[in-house]
């Protein structure tokens, strides 16, 4: 099933709708959607390594704009939508400790958690809920999301064809490693952070 999805995304990357799909997923992931944009970015950049940096730019801009929506959810709608989203991901009980940490380490939380597999929507909603400075939130989001997406895209731009061969030859293993990091991100937020 995942192999067919991977093949479909490779085909999608040649479509005129590919960038719009990537932008939509990047935007939504930063505020409410559970699927990270890497699911599209990776196969799209593998299919067209010469466009990998463009794809990273689309992810960065869309993710920061989606992060602003997440911030607004936390700042304006936390009691209704924000609390429900945080609870739906199973992190409601740790949110108060997370919010208190913002008072002391806000910039480090945004920078570190923005590049990890920890769901970024948790950072965006909590930033709004905690009243973190919007200008600094935006600047730090650009830095951290840009670093994450451009690092991946840079590697794929430079080593795209060899990486594509590895992915296609060892698809199950690569999928398992990616799944591990996504699950580790959720577990990290739930039990460690």
- Tell me which of 139 and 183 has the higher pLDDT: 139
> Which tokens in the block code for residue 160?
């795209």
Each residue's pLDDT tens digit, 79-131: 788 777 767 766 666 667 767 777 788 888 888 877 776 778 888 988 898 88
Structural domain spans, the chain:
2-192
- This prediction has a pTM of 0.77
Helices within the chain (DSSP H only): 2-12, 18-29, 38-47, 52-76, 83-88, 95-115, 120-130, 134-169, 171-187
Each residue's pLDDT tens digit, 28-62: 989 888 778 887 888 888 888 889 999 999 999 99
pLDDT of residue 79: 79
């Amino acid at each position: 099933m995942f192999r067919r999805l991977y093949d479909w995304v490779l085909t999608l990357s040649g479509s005129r709708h590919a960038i719009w799909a990537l932008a939509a997923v990047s935007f939504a992931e930063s505020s409410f959607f559970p699927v990270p944009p890497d699911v599209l970015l990776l196969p799209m950049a593998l299919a067209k390594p010469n466009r990998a940096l463009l794809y990273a730019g689309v992810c960065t801009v869309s993710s920061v704009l989606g992060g602003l929506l997440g911030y607004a959810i936390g700042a304006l709608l936390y009691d209704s939508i924000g609390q429900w989203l945080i609870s739906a991901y199973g992190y409601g009980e740790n949110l108060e400790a997370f919010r208190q940490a913002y008072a002391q380490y806000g910039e480090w939380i945004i920078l570190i958690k923005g590049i990890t597999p920890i769901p970024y929507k948790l950072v965006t909603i909590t930033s709004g809920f905690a009243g973190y400075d919007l200008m600094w939130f935006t600047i730090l989001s650009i830095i951290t999301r840009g670093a994450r997406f451009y690092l991946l895209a840079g590697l794929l731009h430079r080593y795209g064809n060899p990486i594509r061969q590895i992915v296609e030859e060892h698809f199950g293993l690569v999928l398992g490693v990616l799944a591990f990091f996504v699950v580790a991100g959720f577990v990290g937020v739930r039990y460690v952070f």
